Structure 1
Amino acid sequence: MTHFFSAAMIIIGGIIMGLSLWESRKLLVMIPFLPENKQLPLTKKIHLLQGLMLFFLLGYGIVAISFISRINILGELFVGVVFFGGAVFVLISNRIQTKMLIEAKNTLSGLLPICSSCKKMRSQNSDPKNQASWQPLEVFISDRTSADFTHSICPECLKKNFPEQADRILNKTR
């Protein structure tokens, strides 16, 4: 009776792992929405995760067959390997999920309160009348994303703010 129960649990675990492998395809759908420099490393980790799931699925099958056919030595060896692999699987899975959640958090979305005159941003749920609630656009975005800023000046602003140097600078860079 114990062998039958063990084999049933292992087969059910294999079915769950198979469904998890099928569902893991949805992780790859999120990759294009992440910053470009994060896409390849996360894609590789997701493929590694899927490889581990396939390994587990095969391991569950081998262990189930060994329990049903009562080849205990093979079952014990694979149980140890599967449990070790399970720990690695959970570690990689947690890291992937954490990185994807961090990247999703670092993506700005929704309505952003911005001053129509000076372009300062107001922190969410802060008092619009309090000057401390407003911060430069660069600070607002850098605090909430992995973006960093470098400054330059567009040709229109160059002509408006530095008319005597604008022609010389613009003609020099062409």
Structure 2
Amino acid sequence: MLSFAILAILLIAGSVGVISLRQPVHAALSLVATLMTLAVVYISLEAHFLAAIQVIVYAGAIMVLFLFVIMLLNVADREDAKFAWMKPAAYIVGTLTAIGLVANILQNPMPALNSESINNILNGGSAEAVADVLFNQFVLAFQLVGVLLLTGIVGATSLVQHKALAVKHEEELANG
């Protein structure tokens, strides 16, 4: 139990680092530390497949993609007056979302899992058990996550393309 408490503290500290660090690269590295700690939690639950996927896919490939986008966009630490309203709006939206989540949890508590369900889900973190739960019970959520990822890719591509067109236009104006 002490090990889970220590891992929980590390997860919370890493998560706070992700949202509070001002440098995007530092926040991304804090996210890597959080994802690696989560992999340790999976290992302690004897879900070795989930731990391996956590390290390979999320801490590896996804974080390389995040860092690539951060470096490509050259995100500067600046405060624009025209975007000053976004910070209070983000706090309001975040607070309302948290209140809504807590209210939903209090009104609709999850049914308790019996030991057979837990053993099936965390059966060594096998790919078969994960696939069974993912593609039978959570198929809609799985598809929505796919749409969300596709939306993020399209948005990132359009941002980069828009910036590239602006730079090309500036070069054409400079060259006359």
TM-score, scaled relative to structure 1: 0.29
Higher Cα Rg, which structure: 1
